[in-house]
Amino acid sequence: MDKHTQILERARQLLDGGELSLGALAKAVGLSASHLQRRFTAHFGLSPAQYLAQRKLGTLKSALREGNDVSAALYDAGYGSPSRVYEDSSAKLGMTPARYRTGGSGEQIRWSLVNTALGTALVAATQRGICMVELGDDAALLEQKLQHEFPNAQLARVDAGRDEFLAPRLRAVAEHLAGRRDEVPLDLIGTAFQKRVWDALMKIPAGETRSYGEIAASLGSPRATRAVASACAHNRVAIVVPCHRVIRSDGSPGGYRWGLPLKERLLQRERAA
């Protein structure tokens, strides 16, 4: 391990031990704040502040999974204000800490099946927007996947034609999968980093591609290629969040949750359009 790597590992260990400002951390390891910021981000894929936030969030998640009292879990994780962590964690957890603690209990999700240009799609939505789009030929298997993703939510299958809330969202997804619509209301549930990746994917123009490394670099985390690939693999909203537009740096297609033939078909269709 070279000297610079040792310094960065020391900085990481200090963050693991407690909350430090960038200036205090830089002074402790003998670097300027700007120098530490650049090197830490390049090495770990996260800035010191982002690393600290992820560490605190991980501590909070572990405590909530163990069934600890929410208020105690918040303070033990290092959050100074319950109201602040609810605001922050709603974006990172996809739900409030209390609901995360119970595995999503209390979330109401309505779903239905719709025939699209790409085959059968299961579309599920909360009051905030679409939370899952899954493609497949087996209706029972699609339902099992929904139950696996949201095991403790209140799931209700509805007739799309009789549900004023879900019906327009089903039409929007069908039109999007047919290539006739760009905007679809979403409720993306994931970590802060996953959401940043998904947002970057939705900014890639139709018919174009980016490598995992290019996406990571655009987020200011050039070493986070694997994390980008993982975020793509955890994308629950097929096609709408276009992870089919991400390829390997050598130009090969890489993987795809719904199969490479569909990935190639989607890109060919977009380029033709």
The C-alpha atoms of residue 11 and residue 28 are separated, in whole angstroms, by 8
The C-alpha atoms of residue 162 and residue 99 are separated, in whole angstroms, by 29
Model pTM? 0.53
Q: Which of 25, 131, 243, 246 is catalytic?
A: 243
pLDDT over threshold 60, residue 81: no
**pLDDT of 127:** 74
CATH fit for domain 192-272, picks 3.30.2030.30, 1.20.1630.10, 1.10.10.10, 3.30.70.1560: 1.10.10.10
- pLDDT category at 94 given cuts 50, 70, 90 is very low
Active site residue 243: yes
Please write the tens of the pLDDT for every residue from 110-143: 888 888 777 888 888 877 777 788 888 888 999 9
Please write the tens of the pLDDT for every residue from 154-191: 888 886 556 676 777 777 777 777 666 666 777 777 77
45: DSSP letter: S
The C-alpha atoms of residue 88 and residue 84 are separated, in whole angstroms, by 6
Percent above pLDDT 90 for the chain:
12
Task: Judge whether 108-177 and 192-272 match in fold.
Answer: no
The domain over range 3-101 is classified in CATH as 1.10.10.60: yes
Closest among 165, 72, 70, 71 to 127, alpha carbons compared = 165
**pLDDT of 212:** 93
Show the DSSP H helices in 135-272 as ranges: 139-149, 166-177, 192-202, 212-218, 225-233, 260-272
The ranges assigned to domains in the chain are 3-101, 108-177, 192-272
The C-alpha atoms of residue 60 and residue 77 are separated, in whole angstroms, by 5
Mean pLDDT (whole number) for 97-110 = 69
Show the DSSP H helices in 45-138 as ranges: 48-65, 70-76, 82-93, 97-101
Q: CATH second-level architecture of 108-177?
A: 2-Layer Sandwich (3.30)
